[in-house]
Amino acid sequence: MTTLALIRHGQTDWNLQGLLQGSSDTPLNATGRGQAQDAVAVLRDAGVAWSVVVSSPLARARVTAEIVAEELGVPLGGTYDELIERDYGVLEGVTESEVERLWPGKSEPSVETLDSVVERGHRALARIGADHPGQDVIVVCHGTIIRYTLSDIVGYKVDTIENATVSLVEIGDDARSADRPSAATVLTVNGAAVEVAS
Catalytic residue numbers, as ranges: 9, 85
37 neighbors 71 (Cβ within 8 angstroms): yes
d(CA 82, CA 124) in angstroms, rounded, equals 5
Output the DSSP codes for 30-87: HHHHHHHHHHHHHHHHTT----EEEE-SSHHHHHHHHHHHHHHT--EEEE-GGGSPP-
CB proximity list for 166: less than 8 A, separation 6 or greater:
5, 6, 7, 39, 42, 43, 46, 188, 190, 191
Burial of 49 (0-12, 13-18, 19+ CB in 10 A): exposed
- The 10 Å Cβ neighbour count of residue 43 is 21
Q: Tell me the residue type at 103.
A: W
